[in-house]
């Protein structure tokens, strides 16, 4: 399939995200540099370590004071050259911790929102594939207000995927769910990593989640990169970080 | 017993026309100013805020007089509009609509501004990440979510326009068939002997219209809220 070929090359590293950013946020001094590799990279660290701020900078929701962000060959932000691609032109999917579905639109229209804004034609096969992957077909005509937490997050993932992102950011997508719900949704996220053909950056403070999903881990502490490596660095974490 | 002269039917029709037209014409300006006040900060914002609220505080007669010396046939703005666009306000029903629109504007902007300020901006950020530029975000997220407040603002403006008296009579006088609204007609009737019965009939009509408008807006606002929260 043509779509899979291009997505496959992206997952193999063509759309590598390279981040080097600095910003003072209240008492937290963020100074972070890393690049992604392969299909799933985790930003891992305790709350308040600057994980969300970093991906907000990648998405364009927060401006770094200094630095450079690039995705593949495309420079999204460069303080020195005065480049700052606006959020709506970056084509980076974002799954927020609280879902942030539009309450006035049905699930189907939430899913279609990115396609409308991007001016893409309806692609029934792609729509059906993602709806089936996330198992949200029975929810399409409902309003977000009537969904459970887990359903809401699956729809949020689908909405971000259907905009055809070049990169997918997930900010603690399971944090608002109870343990049983987390176990229900994790397999969908693993499928997402293996089937969606979009590189993803997964933000979490939970070592267990990160171990399931990411291959490469960037550990943040107090606004700085503490270490970068494979999932083996999760083994050295304090016990309270393990779930 | 309940009888209305043709002149009073005209006053009722005129009141409704003036209230509807002033509300509809003021709406886009109201949404614009409310958004400006709710979402941006700029030099002179408090001055604009004060200016918008001025008709609420000033005696209506003062507002009417200010309109007269600005939009009258020989006044600078009035003459310009008449010569270049053929828009005449003085002693016309359009002038009554202008006066009502100005008097109702602060109430309209207040309700709209509150509802825009109450919107979760994180939803707008989500729209931006999905590719919506600020104009599309406003049209597809901000406006629909602010709809209950926009309806409430229009309702308040409509009610204020129906009740407007001082500014209107100062600006465009009290001409039967042209600028004599229900309020002005009631006022005239109370000034002539034997006008009490007719005045009472008009009062009943005014109460009826206001009541119907309140019920309609309540229904609309409830529907809009239900749409937002998924019914």
Per-block mean pLDDT, blocks of 10 residues, chain B (231 long): 83 94 96 95 93 94 94 88 88 94 95 94 96 95 93 91 92 91 93 90 92 87 77 46
Tokens 């409430």 identify what position?
Answer: B152
Please name which of B73, B94, B100 lies closest in space to residue B179, comparing C-alpha atoms: B94
pLDDT exceeds cutoff 90 at A68: yes
Residue A93 near chain B (CB below 8 Å)? yes
Residue of A nearest to B126 (CA): A100
User: Which residue of B126, B149, B229 is the best one to mutate when testing the A interface, meaning the one whose CB has the most A CBs within 10 A?
Assistant: B126
Residue A231 has pLDDT above 80, yes or no: yes
Q: Residue A18: helix, strand or coil by DSSP?
A: strand
**Smallest Cβ distance to A87: which of B123, B128, B140?**
B128
Q: Stretch A79-84: mean pLDDT, rounded?
A: 94
What the block records as the tokens of B113 is 């501004």
Q: A114: closest CA among A102, A98, A129, A96?
A: A102
Inspect the interface and report whether the beta carbons of A61 and B128 lie closer than 8 Å.
yes
B contacts of A142 (beta carbons < 8 Å) = 230
Determine, for residues A117 and B136 on separate chains, whether the beta-carbon distance falls below 8 Å: yes
Query: CB of A18 within 8 A of CB of A167?
Result: no
| Cα–Cα–Cα angle for A113, A114, A118, rounded to 5 degrees | 120
Q: Return the percentage of chain A with pLDDT > 90, whole number.
A: 58
> How confident is the model at residue A3, as a pLDDT?
38
State yes or no: pLDDT of A4 exceeds 70.
Answer: no
Residue that wins the pLDDT comparison between B200 and A239: B200
Which of B131, B228, B229 shows the shortest C-beta gap to A117? B131
Element (H or E) spanning A21, and its range?
Answer: strand A17-25
Two structure tokens written together for A72: 């593949």
Tokens 């000034």 belong to: B191
Query: What's the confidence (pLDDT) of residue A5?
Result: 40
CA distance A54 to A52: 5
**Chain B contact for A45 (CB, 8 A cutoff):** no
Would you call A96 and B126 a contact, using CB atoms and an 8 Å cutoff? yes
User: Closest chain A residue to B224 measured between Cα atoms?
Assistant: A104
Q: Tell whether A160 lies on the interface with B, counting CB pairs under 8 A.
A: yes
Residues from chain A contacting residue B145 (CB–CB below 8 Å)? 103-104
For residue A187, the model assigns a pLDDT of 87
Buried b (16+ CB within 10 A) or exposed e, B42-70: eeeeeeebeebeebeebebeebbbbbbee
Q: Would an 8 Å CB–CB cutoff place A84 in contact with chain B?
A: no
Residue B141: its chain A contacts at CB < 8 A?
A: 102
Q: Which residues face A221 on adjacent strands?
A: A224
Q: Which residue of A has its CA nearest to B228?
A: A104
The pLDDT value recorded for residue A240 is: 52
H or E stretch including A149?
A: helix A149-162
- Average pLDDT for residues A53-81, to the nearest whole number? 95
How far apart CA A219 and CA A13 sit, in angstroms, is 20
Phi, psi at A44, each rounded to 5°: -120, 140
- Nearest CB to A61 within list B125, B227, B228: B125
Residue pair A162/A124 in contact (Cβ under 8 Å)? The answer is: no
Using a CB–CB cutoff of 8 Å, tell me whether A88 touches chain B. Answer: yes
Q: Looking at this predicted complex, what is its ipTM?
A: 0.88
Percent of all residues in chain A with a pLDDT value above 70, rounded to a whole number? 91
CB-based burial of residue B178 (10 Å sphere; 0-12 exposed, 13-18 middle, 19+ buried)? middle
3-state secondary structure of A35: strand
Predicted TM-score (pTM) of the model is 0.85
Residue A98 has pLDDT above 60, yes or no: yes
Chain A residues lying within 8 Å of B119, measured CB to CB: none
* DSSP result, chain B: -----HHHHHHHHHHHHHHHHHHHHHHHHHHHHHHHHHH---TTHHHHHHHHHHHHHS-HHHHHHHHHHHHSTTSHHHHHHHHHH----TTSHHHHHHHHHHHHHHHHHHHHHHHHHTS-HHHHHHHHHTT--HHHHIIIIIHHHHHHHHHHHHHHHHHHHHH--HHHHHHH---TTTT--HHHHHHHHHTSTT-HHHHHHHHHHHHHHHHHHHHHHHHHHHHHHHHHT--
pLDDT tens readout for residues A132-170:
988 899 999 999 988 988 899 999 999 999 999 999 999
- Given strand A28-35, what is the order of strands in its sheet? A83-84, A74-78, A66-71, A17-25, A28-35, A224-230, A216-221, A40-44, A200-204, A167-171, A92-95
Q: Is the pLDDT of residue A213 over 50?
A: yes
User: E strands, A120-184, where?
Assistant: 167-171
For residues B86 and B13, what is the distance between their CA atoms, to the nearest angstrom?
24
Q: How confident is the model at residue A7 (pLDDT cuts 50, 70, 90)?
A: very low
Dihedral of the alpha carbons of A82, A86, A92, A93, in degrees to the nearest 10? 150
Q: Residue A12 CA to chain centroid, in angstroms? A: 17
Length of chain A: 243
- B122 contacts in chain A (CB < 8 Å): 96, 98, 100
Average pLDDT over residues A104-114: 95
Q: How far is CA A210 from CA A11, A43, A50, A72, A120, in A?
A: 18, 9, 17, 24, 33
Closest partner residue to B130 among A86, A142, A163, by Cβ?
A163
Q: Cβ separation of A117 and B144 shorter than 8 Å?
A: no
> Which of B130, B228, B230 minimises the CB distance to A117?
B130
* Cβ-nearest to A104 among B131, B133, B228: B228
- Residue A238 pLDDT class (50, 70, 90 cuts): low
DSSP assignment, residue A45? -
Smallest Cβ distance to B133: which of A88, A98, A160? A88
């Amino acid at each position: 399939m043509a779509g899979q070929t291009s997505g496959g090359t992206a997952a193999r590293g063509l759309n590598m995200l390279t981040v080097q950013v600095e910003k003072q946020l209240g008492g937290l001094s963020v100074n972070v540099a890393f690049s992604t590799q392969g299909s799933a990279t985790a930003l891992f660290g305790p709350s308040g370590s600057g994980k969300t701020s970093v991906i907000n900078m990648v998405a364009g929701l927060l401006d770094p004071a200094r630095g450079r962000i690039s995705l593949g060959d495309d420079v999204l932000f460069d303080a020195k050259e005065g480049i700052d691609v606006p959020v709506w032109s970056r084509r980076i999917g974002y799954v927020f911790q609280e879902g942030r579905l539009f309450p006035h639109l049905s699930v189907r229209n939430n899913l279609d929102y990115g396609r409308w804004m991007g001016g893409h034609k309806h692609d029934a096969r792609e729509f059906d594939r993602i709806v089936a992957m996330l198992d949200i077909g029975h929810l399409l005509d409902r309003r977000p207000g009537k969904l459970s937490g887990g359903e809401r997050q699956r729809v949020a993932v689908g909405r971000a995927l259907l905009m055809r992102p070049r990169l997918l950011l997930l900010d603690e997508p399971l944090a608002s769910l109870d343990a049983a719900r987390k176990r229900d949704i994790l397999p969908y996220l693993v499928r997402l990593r293996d089937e969606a053909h979009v590189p993803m950056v997964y933000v979490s403070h939970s070592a267990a989640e990160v171990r399931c999903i990411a291959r490469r881990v960037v550990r943040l502490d107090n606004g700085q990169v503490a270490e970068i490596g494979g999932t083996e660095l999760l083994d050295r974490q304090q016990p309270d970080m393990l779930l | 017993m309940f009888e209305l002269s043709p002149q009073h039917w005209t006053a009722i029709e005129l009141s409704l026309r003036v209230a509807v037209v002033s509300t509809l014409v003021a709406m886009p300006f109201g949404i614009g100013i409310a958004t400006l006040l709710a979402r941006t900060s700029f030099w002179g914002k408090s001055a604009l805020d004060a200016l918008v609220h001025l008709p609420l505080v000033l005696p209506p007669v003062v507002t009417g007089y200010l309109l007269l010396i600005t939009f009258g046939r020989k006044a600078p703005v009035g003459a310009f509009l008449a010569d270049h666009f053929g828009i005449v306000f003085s002693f016309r029903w359009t002038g009554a609509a202008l006066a009502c629109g100005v008097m109702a504007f602060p109430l309209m902007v207040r309700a709209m501004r509150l509802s825009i300020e109450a919107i979760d901006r994180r939803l707008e950020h989500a729209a931006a990440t999905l590719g919506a530029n600020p104009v599309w975000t406003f049209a597809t997220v901000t406006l629909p979510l602010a709809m209950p407040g926009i309806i409430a603002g229009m309702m308040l403006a409509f009610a204020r326009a129906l009740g407007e008296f001082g500014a209107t009579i100062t600006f465009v006088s009290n001409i039967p068939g042209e600028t004599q609204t229900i309020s002005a007609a009631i006022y005239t009737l109370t000034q002539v002997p034997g006008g009490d019965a007719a005045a009472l009939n008009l009062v009943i009509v005014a109460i009826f219209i206001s009541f119907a408008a309140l019920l309609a807006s309540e229904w609309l606002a409830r529907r809009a809220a239900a749409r937002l929260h998924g019914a």
